[in-house]
Structure 1
Amino acid sequence: MDFKSRYESSLTLTKFFGSLPLLVAFPLVFLSHSLSTTSFEFAYENTILLNIFLASACLSIVILAHRLNVLPISNATATTSGSNKMSTMYLLSTFYVIYTSASFLPANRVAVLYLGLFLNSWNLYTPLAFVLDCYTNFKEFYGLHIVFTYALVILGYYLLSSKLNSSSLSNLLSSLDKPTVFGTFIFSALALVFYNPSMFNFSMIGVNLATFIVFMISVQEFQMRDSRLSSVFVSLLLELLQYVVLLQQPSFSQIINIGLAAVVTPDKSYHFEQDEEKGTDQGHKITNNSAPILKELMGHSDTRAIFNFLLLNATFMFVQFLYSFRSKSLGLLSDSLHMALDCMSLVLGLIAGVISKHEIDSNGKYPFGLKNFEILAGFTNGTLLVGISGSILFEAIGRLFNPVHLQKTTELIIVSILGLLVNLVGIFAFNHGHSHGHSHGHSHEDEHDHMNDNMKGIFLHIMADALGSVGVVISTILTKYFSWDGFDPIASIIIATLIFVSAVPLIKSTASTLLLSISKTKEDQIRNILHEVQQVKGVRSLTTPRFWPGPRNNVCGYVHIQVYRGENTSYIKRQCEKMFESRNMDVMLQIENDYDDCWCRK
């Protein structure tokens, strides 16, 4: 395989991993919607109320994201109040139609339908799926029901696409009437709580809105619009999740559904071309006109890798966390809680990574910059890892003496393997982002010659989570075939020990840096240089040698040097400076005559 082929393969793989947050969050929006009611019987009033609430909640989230600069900002002038309200009601109705169509079709069907329409509005999947659904439901007299539902799907797509085609995204967001949206949201929320709260699964509603947030952010960086792999992946993932979460047994029709998804041939529809003209290019080019926060995050390879994995990790966390209660697995529960802490560490790492890249203003509030914020983030992540290992160890010891029988071990293994795959994706994206940043920054500075403490802390979180998934898979398989419930806590103890052992060196390294401690190797170098300085002709003595770790793996400090009367102080200073610079030390030298009065000799 030549270099060009390898490069194209690597680029395709990178685009796929970068699009994974959207490809996972998008189907979960529809799957969690199907679980948002507690009753298996269809009730029109409950469905209408739920969909109005979700539509207004989604638009409220969009408005807040726009205000927080998470979505693109418009510089256009505001439209009239009447057009604002009309545009707002139009979008509320559009979201309501989309959610209503999801109430009548299975999640695995409606998700692929909408994705296929946005990839190519004239794709073959839509008519083939319609014919298949009419055929399979013909004997149950659901023909009119299927026709009505597909009409809703197509209507929802064209309502949204026509609105996006007529206006840029930033102008559309700026034209929303906030009192209308928030008023609808508050009214529907109160009705949801007081009308018949027992009919709604509020945890699933929360998952639906959380996954919508992930979808809303990740859609700005979607890079797989030209690949049919998107629809196949979404279909395959939903079939797998319906087997695990909804306990639907595999069938031949599911294989047909996955095969049908492969007929979606992506194409640049008019909708996406219009967006490109308005500044929403495809791939990473979108960051040129996207939200300032997103543009800053995507501007660097390391922060881009962290951000993409944060979205993917947060999305899968909901699947793993909910299913851990169904299977009563301590390993999976601890793994999902660790994923939640991973998200916290990733957010902390993102903040540290972005702040540390700000230009140093020697006349500003922070004249030495904020580089140490990365070290503080690494120390915090190391401390979190120790706390995680302690909590897992404590719970595992209790389970050894009071075993809990695992349930649904087959589904548990599948969920654990999915979690392991997510972490492997994170490791790949992390290493790719770090090596990419290394290759671009190597010739300019030594900052990327090693993995800094912030990135090391994040990497240890991902590795520990991957170990947790491996432990759950192995312990569940052993429990399934040997029928002994002790494998789960034993695996948890091993995982906790490995997490603790990996976190201690990080804590020691970051703590010593925060305390301005110099390593033994650096200390020996400093002593040797100071000895050489004292041997320079004309130097009488030196006082107050002070040294501390620098921002780029170097050493900073200052030294007072006393010289004999009549010596060339400029020449001696240049000689001493060269000695320190040759060993990557940024040291300020103050040259004094031996008869001068200085505080350093008092």
Structure 2
Amino acid sequence: MLSDTAALALSLGALWFAARPASPNKSFGFYRFEILAALLNGAALFVIAAIIVWEASQRFFDPPAVQSGSMILIAVIGLLANLISAYFLMRKGDVKDNINVRSAYLHILGDALGSVGAIAAGLLMYWFSWYAADPIISVIVAVLILKSAWGVIRWAIHILMEGTPLAIDAEKVKQTLIAIPGVKDVHDLHIWSITSGRDSLTCHLVVEEQADTQDILKQAIKRIEDVFKITHSTIQIETKNLHETACSLH
């Protein structure tokens, strides 16, 4: 429960920082605090899983006798508390698409899995006196936690490395822009996430010499927003001659 409280506090703190207005030195704002919080929460889950595996390995070869009745009772209370926390977090936050909220949710879910594992192990020990069930189930829970934690860490690193958002196909974006009448080519296309759900795009459009550049720009911005839900785009319009001149200078 202590780790859950710390994870929730970290996520709430990140949400508070992210809500601060942008400054001249932080022109994109403070949204990346959410990503950093998610990365720390994911790393903490790795540490927790490692501790679970280590403690389980100590009990595996010499499993101690456990008061299974008390163990089951405590686990049931813990499970109920975690389920209530998870329910309110799911109602108030976006646990699917917001990586920061998801990382806190996974902490609660991991604790809930631990409680389920403890209940299962307690029942096996109560019915069959099989005390090795505790470390075995603990390792299974740790593996499940590791799997979820790795997903959060990989997602956070992808955002921090300014990778293309997972739900967006860069080639499809390029073809959507080329389909605009008057556009001949697209280059220097960059798409990245500032934080979960806040994607940005920059690119250069090579257009025909006599094209209406303002109309093309309006169409490009609208298509990017309508098709890919990207509301922050910076697009440079250039003619073929200007593009060739710029290329010759490099």
Selected match of 1:478 from 120, 124, 132: 124
CA distance in 1, matches of 2:193, 2:41: 21
- What's the offset of the Cα at 1:366? 1.8
CA distance in 1, matches of 2:41, 2:74: 26
TM-score between the two structures when normalised by the length of structure 2: 0.85
Q: Which residue of 1 aligns with 2:200?
A: 556
For residues 481-536 of structure 1, the C-alpha deviation after alignment (integer angstroms, 9 at most, x for no partner) is 4333212212211211221222222222222122211246512xx32332343344
CA distance in 1, matches of 2:247, 2:33: 33
CA distance in 2, matches of 1:423, 1:493: 20
2:163 is paired with a residue of what secondary structure?
A: coil
Q: Verify: 1:357 aligned to 2:19, yes or no.
A: yes
- What's the offset of the Cα at 1:547? 1.6
Q: Verify: 1:380 aligned to 2:40, yes or no.
A: yes
Unaligned runs of 5+ in 2: none
2:120 is paired with a residue of what secondary structure?
A: helix
For residues 533-570 of structure 1, the C-alpha deviation after alignment (integer angstroms, 9 at most, x for no partner) is 33444334333222212446253121122333343322
Q: Which residue of 2 aligns with 1:511?
A: 157
Selected match of 1:573 from 209, 217, 220: 217
More helix, by proportion = 1
Amino acid at match of 1:376: L
Contact 2:159 2:194 in 1 (8 A): no
**1:58-207 alignment, distance < 5 Å:** none
Distance 1:599 1:367, change over 3 A: farther
Distance 1:431 1:565, change over 3 A: closer
Q: Which residue of 2 aligns with 1:490?
A: 136
Distance 1:552 1:380, change over 3 A: closer
Selected match of 1:461 from 104, 107, 110: 107
Q: Which residue of 1 aligns with 2:3?
A: 341
1:373 is paired with a residue of what secondary structure?
A: helix
Contact 1:423 1:466 in 2 (8 A): yes
Distance 1:566 1:482, change over 3 A: closer
Distance 1:463 1:592, change over 3 A: same
For residues 326-372 of structure 1, the C-alpha deviation after alignment (integer angstroms, 9 at most, x for no partner) is xxxxxxxxxxxxx33223212211211221222x33x4332211222
CA distance in 2, matches of 1:345, 1:568: 52
Q: Which residue of 2 aligns with 1:595?
A: 241
For residues 32-59 of structure 1, the C-alpha deviation after alignment (integer angstroms, 9 at most, x for no partner) is xxxxxxxxxxxxxxxxxxxxxxxxxxxx
Q: Verify: 1:418 aligned to 2:62, yes or no.
A: no
Contact 1:560 1:600 in 2 (8 A): no
Identity of aligned residues (%): 28
- What's the offset of the Cα at 1:449? 9.5
Q: Verify: 1:392 aligned to 2:52, yes or no.
A: yes
Amino acid at match of 1:370: F
Q: Verify: 1:369 aligned to 2:29, yes or no.
A: yes
2:200 is paired with a residue of what secondary structure?
A: strand
CA distance in 1, matches of 2:134, 2:113: 13
TM-score between the two structures when normalised by the length of structure 1: 0.38
For residues 366-424 of structure 1, the C-alpha deviation after alignment (integer angstroms, 9 at most, x for no partner) is 22112221122122212211221122112212311122222x44333332222222212
Distance 1:488 1:599, change over 3 A: same
Distance 1:561 1:390, change over 3 A: same
- What's the offset of the Cα at 1:432? 3.2
**1:278-297 alignment, distance < 5 Å:** none
Q: Which residue of 2 aligns with 1:134?
A: none
